[in-house]
Amino acid sequence: MSWRNKSLRRRLALWVIIPLAIVSAFMLMDVRDSSRKAANEAYDRVLLGSALAIAERVAIEGNKILVDVPYVALEMLTSAAQDRVFYQVSGPSAKFITGYADLPAIPRHLTPLRSDPVFYEAHYKGATVRIGAVVRVLSSPKLSARVVIKVAETVEARNALISELITGAALRQALLILVAAIIVWVGLGRGLKPLTRLEEALNRRNPADLHPIQHEVPYEVRNLIGAINHLMERLSNSIEAMQRFTANAAHQLRTPLAAIKTQTEVALRHQDPDETQKTLSHLHDSAEQTTRLINQLMSLARATPGEGSLIQEDFDIRQLCIDVTKTMVPTAIEAGIDLGFEGEDIPLHITGDPTLFEELLRNLTHNAISYCPSGSHTSVRVRKQNGAAVIEVEDNGPGIPESEREAAFERFHRLPSSNPSGCGLGLSIVQEIARQQGGDAKILSGKDNSGTLVQVSVALSPQS
């Protein structure tokens, strides 16, 4: 399952939790720094108190410096049981007086020591220690000296305080994230309730009911519902068109079949062989009309997108025009029509289904032969124009009035003047095929504004 299919709730909860966790991590880093600062401030004060208490007890006797380290000075530090305490008193030129001689020296950047105390961290006896140092200037009539008092303490109590502060902050933030996640989870569940109600309403719907959805939905899903309503409208229109088409097709089929029935009844009643022959000839015409109607319906089904074949072949449309024209010549001669092909001598390749284009050309030439009086001329042409192959079938017959040109492409639409044998599907088949193959069909007037010119243009293959 890709992340797109995952629960919306889970995704949004993650969208809240992850950024909050990142922000919390940064905040905890800040808490750690400020806790360290606060712990140092508090513990350094005690460290300083202890150093000052020792400093108080440094005295000069004669030319000797004496130190009497008070017990309380170190006692105040060892209140944190786990920490160890060290001290050192040194005289002029860092001369060791008492305490721990090897206590780490004051770092260079903090020297020379002035009246203010200094604090620094160092490593001593296998542990990190925090050292506070103060200076005291002593003077007697015989001697004047600068005495440095250093008091060190291990940092366990400080670290324990820092981690206690950080843990407290981390727990509070984790609680906040948890509460936020719960709010998102519950809130979204409630927010999505209208969608569940919509789902139930849609499940209860009659399958034939394609009315727009009139449900109260959250603002964010209104566009989606709009799109679904639009789809339903189109679906309803196309179902209506299909129903109209089926009704029309049934009606069209009924007419020749009714004629066949009547003609057979008449033929059966006739005693005269001549009359029977005449009726049989009508019967043949009706059967032919029915066959044409069925063939046209099948062509239309093949040409309708989604139902027809999906053949995408690269072929020479010029050669196909020549071949179809040739096969139509006998019918044209029979109707007294001069049918010919005009075109350049170079192949014109297009991509599509050649059988559909054959159907298209047959319909156009069939129309020219059917609707032009004997003695007329019809030409099939193909040429290259702006990266497209333009196929034209032109005749000098009665033409199609401009007002009828759009309607002529409609299914079962026939001009009132047309002969009774057609079924009104030819031009809609032509248009369906042209559109399915990415092209377009239009009806124009022939030369000198007379006759009919049907023009179909389709894109040429890239190599053409």
Ligand X SMILES: Nc1ncnc2c1ncn2[C@@H]1O[C@H](COP(=O)(O)OP(=O)(O)OP(=O)(O)O)[C@@H](O)[C@H]1O
Residues lying near Mg ion in the complex (CB under 5 A): 367, 426
CA distances from 426 to 284, 332, 366 (A): 21, 17, 9
Q: Of how many residues is the chain composed?
A: 464
Q: Does 427 bind ligand X (CB under 6 A)?
A: yes
Q: Which does 408 bind (CB under 5 to 8 A by kind): Mg ion, ligand X, none?
A: ligand X
- By CB under 6 A, the residues from 364 to 383 that bind ligand X are 367-368, 371
Q: Is 70 in the site for ligand X (CB under 6 A)?
A: no
Biggest distance spanned by C-alpha atoms of the chain:
169
Among 103, 350, 423, 458, binds ligand X (CB under 6 A): 423
Q: How many CA atoms lie within 13 A of 249 on its CB side?
A: 17
The distance of closest approach from Cβ of residue 242 to ligand X in the complex, given in angstroms and rounded to an integer, is: 19
The DSSP symbol for 124 reads: E
Q: How far apart are CA 169 and CA 286, in angstroms?
A: 94
Q: Quick one: what does residue 299 bind among Mg ion, ligand X, none, with the CB cut-off 5 to 8 Å set by partner type?
A: none
Helix (H) or strand (E) holding 319: helix 317-334
Nearest approach, Cβ of residue 288 and ligand X (Å): 11
To Mg ion, the closest distance from the beta carbon of 291 in angstroms equals 15
Q: Quick one: 325 or 367, whose CB is closer to Mg ion?
A: 367
State yes or no: residue 292 binds ligand X (CB under 6 A): yes
Which residues, other chains included, contact 434 with Cβ-Cβ below 8 Å and sequence gap of 6+?
360, 440, 441, 456, 457, 458
Q: How far apart are CA 423 and CA 12, in angstroms?
A: 60
- Residue closer to ligand X (CB basis): 349 or 413: 413
Q: Which stretch binds ligand X (CB under 6 A): 37-45, 255-263, 320-328, 393-401?
A: 393-401
Q: Which of Mg ion, ligand X, none does 252 bind, CB closer than 5 to 8 A by kind?
A: none
Residue 414 contacts ligand X per CB under 6 A: yes
What burial letters (b/e) apply to 9-22, b meaning 16+ CB within 10 Å? beebbeeeeeebee
Q: Is 352 left (phi over 0), alpha (psi -120 to 50) or beta?
A: left
Instruction: List, in sequence order, every residue forming a beta bridge with 61; answer none if it has no partner.
Output: 64
Note whether 83 binds ligand X by CB under 6 A: no
Asked whether position 422 contacts ligand X by CB under 6 A, the answer is yes
Report which residue type is found at 183. Answer: I
Whole-angstrom Cα distance, residue 140 to residue 122? 34
Contact call for residue 400 and ligand X (CB under 6 A): yes
Local structure of 6: helix, strand or coil: coil
Site track 233-272 with ligand X (rule: CB under 6 A), x = hit: ----------------------------------------
Q: Does 104 bind ligand X (CB under 6 A)?
A: no
Q: What φ, ψ does residue 345 adopt, rounded to 5°?
A: -95, 15
Q: Does 148 bind ligand X (CB under 6 A)?
A: no
From ligand X, Mg ion, none, interface partner of 70 (C-beta below 5 to 8 A by class): none
Radius of gyration of the chain (CA): 51
User: Of 29-37, 43-51, 166-174, 424-432, which part binds ligand X (CB under 6 A)?
Assistant: 424-432
Only one of the segments 19-27, 50-58, 226-234, 420-428 lies at the binding site for ligand X (rule: CB under 6 A); that segment is: 420-428
Count of residues engaged in binding ligand X, rule: CB under 6 A: 23
- Write the CB contacts of 26 (distance below 8 Å, at least 6 apart in sequence): none
The footprint of ligand X (CB under 6 A) covers 292, 296, 363, 367-368, 371, 395, 397-400, 408, 414-415, 418, 422-428, 452
